[in-house]
């Protein structure tokens, strides 16, 4: 019988997850979380670095009254009042008079639905594949960070309060920090840093064997794959992203090293590389690329999740007619073939997450791409409430953050979306974003992103002459 795992335990190996589909995930014998007491104060990311007990989040409280609450736990939507103090949800109570915290900001959300902030598990915030960017600026750190700032606004105004960045310039960790410190408006960022691949691997075709390649870490041999994982961990990685191609020894070494460091691993791979990654203990597979029924069954049995990301391929086939010129996509595929992979994954009981992979300028189409991906999941037989659960609770599980995110429950971080209408019956209502609260701070009001509050020091005011 498998020992308790990182994906099957909520906190410190002590509280079982409620998601049965992840209960048989692969063994993580080197998991460090078991050595933390539940009372330990750590960073709000999968790294779980110990920090002091200073109060977190903005001063003050927010009360959302008059709305219906879809809490993401599986319960039906119902009328509740949500109380937020600093950066955490503290109460969900029936409507009516109550003693709110002194000085609380009370927001009337009558006619609206309150739900957990949406999560996107596949983003590239600093991506430079836009025709208007001069080649010299594609890997420029300053331009990359500004691109990230622009993208974050599109995500947060779409109600996406958390993104998982699966390959960006090293400065992605500074974007994460600025959002976490309430110095920039955007979603929470969980970042892999540079994706790891072999020479000529996916997206690194033609770059040679130089390991220092902007958003890539090109690695050769098992020892170098271990070193590449350690480098991303040292930079601040919240998880590890790998792509085919690789050898069996390389992928096994990389995954083993990541798990020893307490990080999950996701893989952009296809065909027999998926078999190799699953055999090596990978946690997730990205994209709807070709694979056998046998490996899908092994994914289900071992608790290997899937982030289908059908929407970017739909755009590629519609806009460009096909995926051309890539040595890492040497197979025939299309919209219906990708949808068939999703059906087979769903039928086998593989845990599914939600991600969009919006490269080039596709982020400017938000929220449509995210909505399209949700509807792809509905098209294979999932209900609307189930799909919303994948976008929130299940995505938080796959981030290894379900003890802090993904549902509206007391003690969870206050990442809250408020939309007009009933998105649990009509997904299109997700486009009617009114309020977004991230980490206890209002970051979207009336559907428009707002700047963080200014914090002044004790400096004397400037003189006027």
Q: CATH number for the domain including 328?
A: 3.20.20.140
| Region of poorest pLDDT, from 28-42, 140-154, 164-178, 301-315 | 28-42
Number of domains in the chain: 1
Report which of 193, 136, 137, 203 is spatially closest to residue 170, judged by C-alpha positions.
193
| Residues belonging to the chain | 465
Residue % of the chain over a pLDDT of 70: 90
Q: What is the pTM of this model?
A: 0.92
Separation CA 295–CA 348 (nearest Å): 10
Q: Would you say residue 192 lies in a domain?
A: yes
Cβ of 140: how many Cβ atoms within 10 Å? 17
Residue 431: inside a domain, yes or no?
no
pLDDT tens track for 381-432:
999 999 999 999 999 999 999 999 999 999 999 999 999 999 999 999 999 9
Region 286-312: what's the mean pLDDT? 97
What's the CA gap between 234 and 8, in Å, rounded?
26
pLDDT in tens, 61-99: 999 999 999 999 999 999 999 999 999 999 999 998 788
Q: Is residue 358 part of a domain?
A: yes
The pLDDT, as a whole number, for residue 17 is: 32
Q: Is the pLDDT of residue 11 over 60?
A: no
The answer to whether residue 35 is domain-embedded is: no
Q: Sign (positive/negative) of CA torsion 397, 402, 405, 409?
A: positive
Domain extent, residue 389, equals 118-398
Instruction: Please check whether residue 154 lies inside any domain of the structure.
Output: yes
Least confident interval from 28-32, 96-100, 320-324: 28-32
Strand pairing class (81-85; 61-65): antiparallel
Q: What span, in angstroms and rounded, lies between the C-alpha atoms of 465 and 462?
A: 10
Grade residue 454 by pLDDT with cuts at 50, 70 and 90. confident
Query: What is d(CA 380, CA 378) in angstroms, rounded to the nearest whole number?
Result: 5
Q: Tell me the pLDDT band of 331, cut-offs 50, 70 and 90.
A: confident
- On whether residue 433 sits in a domain, the answer given is no
Angle between helices 310-320 and 335-348 (to 10 degrees): 170
Tell me whether residue 77 is in a domain. Answer: no
Among 180, 238, 161, 163, smallest CA distance to 57 is for 180
**Burial of 275 per CB tally in 10 Å (0-12, 13-18, 19+):** middle
Q: Dihedral sign for Cα 245, 124, 241, 381, please.
A: negative
User: What is the predicted pLDDT for the residue at 12?
Assistant: 33
Q: Is residue 423, in this structure, part of any structural domain at all?
A: no
């Amino acid at each position: 019988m498998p020992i308790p795992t990182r994906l099957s335990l909520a906190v410190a190996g002590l509280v079982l997850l409620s998601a049965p589909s992840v209960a048989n995930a692969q063994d993580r014998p080197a998991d460090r979380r078991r050595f933390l007491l539940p009372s330990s104060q750590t960073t709000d990311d999968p790294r779980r670095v110990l920090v002091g007990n200073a109060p977190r989040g903005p001063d003050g409280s927010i009360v959302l009254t008059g709305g219906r609450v879809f809490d993401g736990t599986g319960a039906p939507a119902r009328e509740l009042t949500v109380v937020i103090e600093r950066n955490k949800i503290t109460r969900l109570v029936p409507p009516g008079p109550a003693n709110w915290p002194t000085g609380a900001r009370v927001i009337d959300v009558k006619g609206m639905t309150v739900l957990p902030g949406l999560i996107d598990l596949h983003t590239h915030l600093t991506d430079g594949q836009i025709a208007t960017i001069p080649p010299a600026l594609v890997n420029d750190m300053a331009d990359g960070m500004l691109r990230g700032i622009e993208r974050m606004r599109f995500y947060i105004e779409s109600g996406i309060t958390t993104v998982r960045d699966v390959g960006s310039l090293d400065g992605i960790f500074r974007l994460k920090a600025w959002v976490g410190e309430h110095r920039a408006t955007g979603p929470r960022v969980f970042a892999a840093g540079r994706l790891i691949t072999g020479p000529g691997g996916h997206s690194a075709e033609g770059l040679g064997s130089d390991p220092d390649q902007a958003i890539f870490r090109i690695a050769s041999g098992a020892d170098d794959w271990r070193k590449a994982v350690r480098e991303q961990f040292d930079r601040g990685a919240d998880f590890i992203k790998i792509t085919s191609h690789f050898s069996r020894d390389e992928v096994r070494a990389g995954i083993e090293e990541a798990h020893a460091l307490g990080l999950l691993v996701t893989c952009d791979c296809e065909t027999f590389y998926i078999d190799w990654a699953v055999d090596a203990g990978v946690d997730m597979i990205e994209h709807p690329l070709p694979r056998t029924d046998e490996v899908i069954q092994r994914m289900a049995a071992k608790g290997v999740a899937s982030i289908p990301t059908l929407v970017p391929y739909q755009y590629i086939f519609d806009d460009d007619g096909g995926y051309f010129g890539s040595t890492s996509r040497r197979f025939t595929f299309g919209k219906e073939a990708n949808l068939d992979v999703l059906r087979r994954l769903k039928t086998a009981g593989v845990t599914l997450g939600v991600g969009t992979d919006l490269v080039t300028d596709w982020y400017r189409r938000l929220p449509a791409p995210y909505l399209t991906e949700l509807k792809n999941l509905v098209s294979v037989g999932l209900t609307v409430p189930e799909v919303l659960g994948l976008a929130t609770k299940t995505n938080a599980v796959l981030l290894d953050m379900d003890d802090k995110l993904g549902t509206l429950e007391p003690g969870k971080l206050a990442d809250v979306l408020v939309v007009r209408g009933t998105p649990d019956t009509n997904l299109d209502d997700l486009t009617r974003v009114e309020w977004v609260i991230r980490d206890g701070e209002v970051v979207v009001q009336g559907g428009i992103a707002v700047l963080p509050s200014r914090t002044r020091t004790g400096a004397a005011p400037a003189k006027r002459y």
